[in-house]
Chains A and B, each alone.
Chain A
Amino acid sequence: MRLVLRLAALGIILITVVLWFFGGMNRGCTQTSVKQMQKDPVTDIEYPVFEQRFLPGVDFLGGGGVLGLLTIGASFLFPRK
């Protein structure tokens, strides 16, 4: 069980880092909608259009790290075989 929990913790941390990295390494808060600017051809006004997309931020990274550490901590509750 210790090994299973430690492997799970490693998986959680790896998945979190990979998602954050390939999500664009957003150093701000996690966003569930992303702003894209478009231009109106007649008035030349640039206007925002929100696209529903998950963009993990540093809070997501921190959350994944804490969950991973807690899982490692929980592994110590089980005795060695």
Chain B
Amino acid sequence: MTKSFSCIVAFAVSSLASFAAPQSYDFKDPKGVNNVVFKLDAPLESINGTANGISGSVQFDPQSPKDLKGKIVVAGSTLQVGNPTMKEHLHSDKWMDVKQFPEITFETTGIDKVVSAENSTVAQVTGNLTIKGKTKSITAPLKITYLPGKLKARFPMMEGDLLVLRSNFKIKRSDFGINSGAFEDKVSDEIDLSFSLAGMSPKK
């Protein structure tokens, strides 16, 4: 009797522990939906571009959103604008130098001002943003949407959860040595960035 009771307690504790453990979400989306949109002001039009080569992983526990941590990587080669000459300039050594610095990374260091309601959480995330080999700590608003059991809706052969991260913030290209000080009369120093990313956590 005592042995059975011990087994039940051990099972309950291990189940609870596994339930409370943060899940790892993979942000390499086979559907190619994950994207970063960047916008720079210019005299005639705003320069709008995107990047969809997203990868990385985030640890998230829906019971404890404040413990979110992870790293998102954007492949520089996937930076895209509508004009081919502009794209060539963007990838060149003066601007993003994607050959020497193929990755743009953001790694969380902390999360603050967490407000949760049902499956949605808003917070301020702080992390190290690395562009062109230069790292700067930034704080940005983050919206986290936890979609339990929704992985099957995207990939019918898979069971699991989805995690959607959205953020919009501004950086200065001069902070990261992106052709700093040059063409500021033509292209603004400020870059508006919007992230919309979905990560998946398949059930083993």
- Interface on A for B, CB 8 Å cutoff? 26-35, 40, 42-48, 50, 55, 57-58
Distance in Å from the Cβ of A38 to the closest Cβ of chain B? 9
User: A53: nearest residue on chain B (CB-CB)?
Assistant: B82
Distance in Å from the Cβ of B79 to the closest Cβ of chain A? 12
Q: Which of A28, A30, A31, A35 has the most CB of B within 10 A?
A: A28
User: B37: nearest residue on chain A (CB-CB)?
Assistant: A48
- Interface on B for A, CB 8 Å cutoff? 31-35, 37, 42, 44-45, 48, 50, 52, 80, 82-86, 145, 147, 150, 153-154, 162, 164, 196-198
Residues in A whose Cβ lies below 8 Å from that of B82: 29, 31-35, 50, 55
CB-based closest 10 A-B pairs? A28-B45, A31-B82, A43-B198, A45-B196, A47-B33, A42-B153, A48-B50, A29-B83, A40-B33, A47-B35
Residues in B whose Cβ lies below 8 Å from that of A31: 82-83
Are A58 and B44 in contact, CB atoms less than 8 angstroms apart? yes
Residues in A whose Cβ lies below 8 Å from that of B33: 40, 43, 45, 47
A43 to B144, CA, bound (A): 11
A75 to B112, CA, bound (A): 71
A31 to B145, CA, bound (A): 35
Residues in A whose Cβ lies below 8 Å from that of B154: 40, 42-43
Residues in A whose Cβ lies below 8 Å from that of B83: 29-32, 57
Are B196 and A27 in contact, CB atoms less than 8 angstroms apart? no
Distance in Å from the Cβ of B199 to the closest Cβ of chain A? 10
Distance in Å from the Cβ of A76 to the closest Cβ of chain B? 33
Are B84 and A47 in contact, CB atoms less than 8 angstroms apart? no
Residues in A whose Cβ lies below 8 Å from that of B150: 42-43
Residues in B whose Cβ lies below 8 Å from that of A58: 44
Residues in B whose Cβ lies below 8 Å from that of A27: 44-45
Distance in Å from the Cβ of B144 to the closest Cβ of chain A? 12
14 more contacts with CB within 8 A, not counting A47-B34, A48-B80, are: A29-B82, A31-B83, A32-B83, A34-B82, A35-B50, A40-B31, A40-B33, A42-B154, A43-B150, A43-B164, A45-B196, A47-B35, A48-B50, A50-B82
